Amino acid sequence: MFWRSGDTPRSRTSRLIWSYAPDWLVAIIFAVAFFAIDKIAPFHRQFSLDNKSIMYPHKPDTISPSMLIVIAFAVPVVFIFVISVFVRRSWFDLHQGWLGCVLALALTIVITDTLKITVGRHRPDFISRCQIDISEGVPTDPPLGLSSVALCTQKNLKILYDGMKSFPSGHSSLSFAGMTFLSLYLAGKLHLYDRRGHTLKAFIVLIPLLGAALVAVSRTVDYRHHWQDVLVGSLIGIATAYFSYRHYYPSLSSPIAHRPYSPRIPADDAPGMGPAGGILPGPTGFRPSDDADPDLAFDRDSPLSGRGGSIKHHHHLPRHGAAHNGHPTSHEYGSEVVDARTVNGSHEFTDPSSRYGGNGPSSSVAAPYHARYLHDDSQTTTGTSQRPS
204 φ, ψ (degrees, to nearest 5): -60, -40
- Residue among 124, 138, 140, 148 at smallest CA distance from 56: 124
Alpha carbon distance 302, 304 (integer Å) = 6
Alpha carbon distance 287, 368 (integer Å) = 12
Give the amino acid at 340. A
- The DSSP secondary-structure symbol of 83 reads I
Contacts of 48 (CB under 8 A, 6+ apart): 141, 146, 147
Helix axes 170-190, 75-82, angle to 10 degrees: 10
Alpha carbon distance 177, 249 (integer Å) = 16
The answer to whether the Cα torsion of 269, 272, 277, 279 is positive or negative is: negative
Q: Which residues are catalytic?
A: 171, 225
How far does Cα 300 stand from its chain's mean position?
26
Contacts of 98 (CB under 8 A, 6+ apart): 77, 80, 81
DSSP three-state, residue 367: strand
DSSP 304-344: GGT-SSSSB--SPPPPTT---TT--EEEEETTEEEEEEEET
Alpha carbon distance 126, 55 (integer Å) = 7
CB contact at 8 A, 161 and 120: no
